[in-house]
Structure 1
Amino acid sequence: MRSATAESGHLYGVGVGPGDPGLITRRAAELIASAEVVVYHAGTGRSSNARAIAAELIPAEAIEEELRYPVTTGAATHPDGYHAQLAEFYDECAARLAVHLDTGRSVVVLAEGDPMLYGSYTYLHERLADRYPTEVVAGVPAFAAATAVAAEAISRHEDVLTVLPGTLPVPELARRLADSDAAVVMKLGRTFAGVREALRQAGVLDRAVYVERASREGQRVLPVADVDPATVPYMSLIVVPGLDRRADSAGRAVGAGTDARTVDR
């Protein structure tokens, strides 16, 4: 039976959800409140969003480890480029956490949204999970909060949902959007203008919804076509709701095996 509290020498990747502390799961709250070491990432020149979400749960006596990115959206300084620079950063972060784990401390890594969905925790997990007892605690992903605050059903029946990074080249992003019934595009910020162009090329711009800071202070929801690209932060996303595809192999759709999105409901 698993312990209700963080165990000595264990590593935990804990999702803290999209922003509202009320969306932190009970399991995540138990682990954060009992952690000996609390770890969180922070962007260059910014405070940690993950820490802010979980702040009320962090024990006063806990050791805090801030892992500050050497680069986020700016130019990399490593001779081998952005990915090489981040790989070195994650190697250094893993080494720092290993020191705590080797001394028998429980280590809880906070992750915005879900730890395994475009989460920085995943790179620590790859480096440490085969050496230490590890548990990953799911969190409410940002796109789930976004569809809730936008009151938009993202997919129904046989709608195929695709989650895409906005950092893809415009032609590739447009192709994948055109091939999807419903989509979520994450990682915006400076990529927003290109993402909007991809939505236009795919023919889905008119139904695309922009959501910023879902479930937290400063939340915004508006049509993508109305967004000023200069105002878009990295931690925002776009939802493209499906049109309710009805075609399944169980014969439930009208004309089974066909796309029946226009059938009266």
Structure 2
Amino acid sequence: MGKVICAGLGPGNPDLMSVKSDRTIRGAKHLAYFRKKGRKGQARTIVADMLRDDVIEYPMEYPVTTELHFGSDEYKALMVAFYAEWADRLETLARDNDVVVLCEGDPFFYGSFMHLHTRLQGRAEVEVLPAIPGMVGCWNALDTPFTWGDDVLSVLMATLPEDDLITHMQRADALVIMKTGRNLPRVRRALAATGRLDDAWLVEKGTMPGQRIAKLADTADDDCPYFAIVLVHGQGRRPEAAE
């Protein structure tokens, strides 16, 4: 019997991938990865120079991404059917072969593979290879310590209602805000309401070619891709400087 191996790719730069994920991907005969219809897919792009010549590829194309609201019944129905179909296909493949599934960042940190992992329990052997989350690559791109002493770090989804964003921002010291894109105006208003806007940074394609770093206050609302990350550094307890 084979098994399903989910290889975490890390923040995007192949050099920051784990040795085990690198070795597993280079040896993969069967390779599955998520992508939007009509796109090559970020995960596939990251590993483009690592694949063996005879690899068999299985693009898992999302039926919908941002075209429908994620809370709508239609969106939920489409995504449930999508994950169910691919869980069935991966189970079948894993009866005779190892199949490697690519996942950007860390698979268990908001990764799409989690939905397959849940559905494959008891149906196939599954192994998950951990990785550096994308936000870590982004805050290192800023070359400034992100949390100090007893700072509280909150990771927020920009899809949250504005009042919820404000509540969480008021409680936290350091902030990571994901899934920005069209939600950026809401994020900007919440940061302004909590006095954090001038300290916020936008990082796009962290650690990858085309990396962009900008002060959020200087960024237009329509100049933000969905997977860019907004960061606000903590300013907590630090050792006193020696006199």
For each residue in 1:14-73, what CA deviation from the matched residue of structure 2 results, as whole angstroms up to 9, or x when unmatched? 111122111111100111112221110002332210011011222221211101111111
In the alignment, structure 1 residue 211 sits paired with structure 2 residue 203: yes
For each residue in 1:138-194, what CA deviation from the matched residue of structure 2 results, as whole angstroms up to 9, or x when unmatched? 112111111111112111110011111111111111111111111100111111111
Distance of aligned partners of 1:129 and 1:63 in 2 relative to their CA distance in 1, 3 Å threshold: farther
| Structure-2 residue corresponding to 1:250 | none
| Structure-1 residue corresponding to 2:21 | 28
| CA RMSD of superposed structures (Å) | 1.9
Asked if 2 retains the 8 angstrom alpha-carbon contact of 1:38 and 1:58, the reply is: no
Asked if 2 retains the 8 angstrom alpha-carbon contact of 1:178 and 1:203, the reply is: no
**What is the letter of the counterpart of residue 108 of structure 1?**
V
- Whole-Å Cα distance in 2 between the matches of residues 62 and 264 of structure 1? 56
Secondary structure of 1:12 counterpart = strand
| Structure-2 residue corresponding to 1:254 | none
| Structure-1 residue corresponding to 2:188 | 196
Asked if 2 retains the 8 angstrom alpha-carbon contact of 1:77 and 1:85, the reply is: no
- Whole-Å Cα distance in 1 between the matches of residues 21 and 128 of structure 2? 9
| Structure-2 residue corresponding to 1:171 | 163
- Whole-Å Cα distance in 2 between the matches of residues 90 and 57 of structure 1? 27
- Whole-Å Cα distance in 2 between the matches of residues 63 and 236 of structure 1? 31
Shift, 1:198, TM fit: 1.3
**What is the letter of the counterpart of residue 172 of structure 1?**
D
- Whole-Å Cα distance in 1 between the matches of residues 240 and 180 of structure 2? 36
Distance of aligned partners of 1:77 and 1:164 in 2 relative to their CA distance in 1, 3 Å threshold: closer
| Structure-1 residue corresponding to 2:215 | 223
- Whole-Å Cα distance in 2 between the matches of residues 228 and 78 of structure 1? 26
- Whole-Å Cα distance in 2 between the matches of residues 132 and 96 of structure 1? 11
Moved over 6 A (4+): 76-79
| Structure-2 residue corresponding to 1:186 | 178
Asked if 2 retains the 8 angstrom alpha-carbon contact of 1:17 and 1:140, the reply is: yes
Secondary structure of 1:131 counterpart = coil
**What is the letter of the counterpart of residue 92 of structure 2?**
V
Asked if 2 retains the 8 angstrom alpha-carbon contact of 1:40 and 1:110, the reply is: yes
- Whole-Å Cα distance in 2 between the matches of residues 60 and 179 of structure 1? 51
- After TM superposition, the structure 1 stretch with the greater mean CA deviation from structure 2, 127-136 or 104-113, is 127-136
- Whole-Å Cα distance in 2 between the matches of residues 56 and 179 of structure 1? 44
**What is the letter of the counterpart of residue 13 of structure 2?**
D
Shift, 1:109, TM fit: 0.6
- Whole-Å Cα distance in 2 between the matches of residues 85 and 54 of structure 1? 28
**Which consecutive residues of structure 2, in runs of 5 or more, have no partner in the other structure?**
none
1:161 to 139, 146, 153: 153
**Which consecutive residues of structure 1, in runs of 5 or more, have no partner in the other structure?**
1-7, 247-260
| Structure-1 residue corresponding to 2:38 | 45
Of structures 1 and 2, the one scoring higher in RCO (CA 8 A, sep 6+) is: 2
Asked if 1 retains the 8 angstrom alpha-carbon contact of 2:146 and 2:233, the reply is: yes
TM-score by length of 1: 0.86
Asked if 2 retains the 8 angstrom alpha-carbon contact of 1:17 and 1:24, the reply is: yes
Paired residues, number: 241
Secondary structure of 2:191 counterpart = helix
Distance of aligned partners of 1:79 and 1:199 in 2 relative to their CA distance in 1, 3 Å threshold: closer
Distance of aligned partners of 1:111 and 1:79 in 2 relative to their CA distance in 1, 3 Å threshold: closer
Give me the identity figure in percent.
Answer: 37
Shift, 1:240, TM fit: 0.9
Distance of aligned partners of 1:77 and 1:215 in 2 relative to their CA distance in 1, 3 Å threshold: closer
Distance of aligned partners of 1:63 and 1:129 in 2 relative to their CA distance in 1, 3 Å threshold: farther
- Whole-Å Cα distance in 1 between the matches of residues 195 and 21 of structure 2? 40
Asked if 1 retains the 8 angstrom alpha-carbon contact of 2:153 and 2:173, the reply is: yes
- Whole-Å Cα distance in 1 between the matches of residues 71 and 201 of structure 2? 37
Shift, 1:115, TM fit: 0.8
Secondary structure of 1:57 counterpart = coil
1:87 to 76, 80, 83: 80
